[in-house]
A and B are shown apart, each in its own frame.
Chain A
Amino acid sequence: MFKQLYFGELKKMFSLKTALIFFAIFVFGFIIVGLSFRAIGNLVEIDTVGMQDLSPMQSNRINVSEEETQSRLSVLRTELDRAEAEKAEEGYSYYLSLLNSMDEIYYLKSQIEIYEYIADNELYHTDLYFYDTVLYGVSSLGEQTATPFAVTMLGVFAFLLSIYALIIGSGAYATEMRNGTLKILLLHPISRNQLTLAKLLAMLTILTGAFLVIFICTVCYSYLAYHDPGYTMLFVFNAQSVFQAGYAFPLLLSVMSLLVNTLAYGIMAFFFGTLTRKRVLGFVLPYALDFAAPLVGMAGLSRFWITNVIAFESFFGVGMGLNTGSNFFLSLPLAIVYFGAMIALSFVVFHQRDVA
Chain B
Amino acid sequence: MPAVLEVKHLKKTYVSRKGAGRTSELVAVDGVSFEINEGEILGFIGPNGAGKTTTIKMITGLAKPTEGEISICGHSVAKDRVRAMRYVGGVIETPDMYPDMTGLTNLKYLVTLHPKDTMIDPQDATLAAKPKKELDAQRVEDVLRMVGLWERRNDLVRKYSLGMKQRLGIAQALLSKPKLLILDEPANGLDPAGIKYIRDLLRNLAGVYKMGILVSSHQLNEIQLMCDRVLIINNGKIISQKRIDELSKDETGASNIVIKIDKPAEAAAYVKQKFNVNAQISGSDLRIRTAMDTGTLTKELVLGGFNVYGIATEEVRLEDVFIDATGEGK
| Residue ranges of A at the interface with B (Cβ–Cβ < 8 Å) | 1, 4-5, 8, 11-12, 15, 179-181, 183-191, 352, 354-355
Contact = CB atoms under 8 A, between A and B. Distances in A.
The 6 closest A-B pairs by CB, nearest first: A180-B96, A354-B63, A4-B112, A188-B113, A355-B62, A189-B85
A12 B98 contact: yes
B88 interface: yes
Q: How large is the interface on B (under 10, 10 to 19, 20 to 34, 35 or more residues)?
A: 20 to 34
A181 B83 CA distance: 21
A8 B96 contact: no
B308 interface: no
Contacts of B83: 189
A186 B62 contact: yes
Interface of B: 57, 60-64, 81-83, 85-86, 88-94, 96-100, 109-110, 112-115, 118, 169, 172-173, 176
Given A8-B112, A181-B98, A354-B64, A189 B89 contact: no
B63 A355 contact: yes
A170 B107 CA distance: 25
A189 B82 contact: yes
Contacts of B110: 184-185, 188
A183 B62 contact: yes
A180 B61 CA distance: 15
Given A189-B82, A190-B82, A354-B63, A179 B113 contact: no
Given A1-B115, A181-B98, A189 B86 contact: yes
B94 A180 contact: yes
19 contacts: A4-B112, A12-B109, A15-B100, A179-B98, A180-B93, A180-B94, A183-B62, A183-B92, A183-B96, A184-B169, A186-B62, A187-B60, A188-B85, A188-B176, A189-B82, A189-B83, A189-B114, A191-B81, A352-B64
Nearest to A7: B112
B214 to A, nearest CB: 13
Contacts of B94: 180
Contacts of A180: 93-94, 96
A250 B253 CA distance: 89
Contacts of B113: 1, 4-5, 8, 185, 188-190
Nearest to B54: A354
B172 A354 contact: no
A187 B109 contact: no
Contacts of A179: 96, 98-99
Given A8-B109, A184-B96, A355 B57 contact: yes
